[in-house]
Chains A and B, each alone.
Chain A
């Protein structure tokens, strides 16, 4: 056998030669001191290279559970849950209003229509007798919603728990914006700048000089008007600036203080679940941890800026988001 070339030596050392080939090489090596010397050189190269590569290896972590939900299934989940969630929102609103407005006599005052654009069908539901088909539908929607909400919480919690603080951005579900504390802003239809301004009674906030991809009306408990401004940081990164005006009387506050004392047991377990995890814990509802408005106060804002709730979300680190937050300015025509 002729001398062994370097490639064959590497294949031999890597154990990648077929048994007859390997025997041939081994046979030659016993007779050829030159090739034996090269074999040892190449062996040293392999050892050294492997060692170097080991210094640039990822940390050895346990095999995480497979998370197929990170890609497309999330979007599907959202489409499945959108309808029940919308139902839930209206039913929750109606229940809350029923408890707030309905005195012990059980009379219902009719709230102004423009305050509650989505409450009309649900009001009927809340007032209806349990056996009526409408109420059955509501019960069904409620069950589905409770299931959907707990599923969503799992999704929100699972990756967070696994990766601790390394991943600041909470997983987002298409059509919602996570506020990172378990609350989600439900994004609604696209609106014009003027409508957004009317809704908020103030200028919505934006990061100056970034292209605006869209302005959406949104909903969040405790806020009478919420506007989400989507801005493109680059072609693949979108941030969402959320401006909201607090409801004159927060619904939860009304449930907890006004009606709660004398009818502790009034909301059924299901209704409490619907009203959100926070329904039992009024203290947690008080929105104390909201991000304060940026230091340069919106000059043109017609309302005191303290009324405006602000947050900014996007697939960026906490620091980057904080830096963006400092740049926020009122959106001018």
Chain B
């Protein structure tokens, strides 16, 4: 791997996994996709590797989501038979519950707000977010502000809803 891409790999790999994880919600898969994005960068040799990687990763995650939706139809039948898991501890249940609520809250955001927020959380700067999403640089702060507020609101609405449901 050329030196510059090796540097990008060191500095950006985890960020890319973090970004992808919030799209595919599977750590293994996110890592695989990140590896694949770097392998493609090796072939394409983009000038701005970091930005390019996030664009490619976003596209791969979208394709992945479509494929997963198709596959789910086939595999429900197969996975239904193999449920021999140990009942998880309360703590694990709690963490899983929170994880699911954050995920739901994230999915309530508009695609543009979510994208900006995930990119920021993966370590991209406002400049990079603007280039990636097509937002004006001056609009990135507004978008992020709105995204953060809505994430918190959606999460809190979700937990409240759950308390009500539990009764």
Contact = CB atoms under 8 A, between A and B. Distances in A.
B40 A45 contact: no
Contacts of B98: 55
A194 interface: no
Contacts of A234: 70-71, 73-74
A233 B61 CA distance: 21
A70 B28 CA distance: 14
Interface in A62-77: 63-64, 66-68, 70-72
Nearest to A319: B82
Nearest to A57: B18
B145 A7 contact: yes
Given A66-B1, A70-B35, A14 B144 contact: yes
B92 interface: no
A237 interface: yes
A70 B95 CA distance: 33
Interface in A6-41: 6-11, 14, 16
Contacts, number: 139
B142 A10 contact: yes
B13 A10 contact: no
A63 B13 contact: yes
Nearest to B26: A58
Interface range for B: 35 or more
A11 B139 CA distance: 10
A322 B79 CA distance: 10
A40 B22 CA distance: 28
Nearest to A53: B121
Contacts of A2: none
A158 interface: no
Interface string B130-150: 000000001111111111110
B152 A45 contact: yes
A8 B106 contact: no
Contacts of B74: 233-234, 237
Interface range for A: 35 or more
Contact of A70 (B22, B36, B78, B125): B36
Contact of B38 (A9, A68, A237): A68
Interface in B23-44: 27-28, 30-32, 35-36, 38-40, 42-43
A277 interface: no
Nearest to A233: B74
A68 B75 CA distance: 29
Given A14-B141, A236-B67, A52 B152 contact: yes
A324 B142 CA distance: 51
B9 interface: yes
A72 B42 CA distance: 11
B145 A319 contact: no
B21 A50 contact: no
Contact of B102 (A52, A58, A316): A52
Contacts of B9: 66
B106 A7 contact: no
Given A50-B121, A68-B39, A324 B126 contact: no
Given A53-B106, A56-B102, A316-B78, 16 more contacts: A6-B146, A7-B142, A14-B141, A42-B145, A53-B102, A53-B117, A56-B103, A56-B106, A58-B17, A58-B27, A67-B35, A70-B32, A71-B40, A163-B28, A320-B79, A320-B82
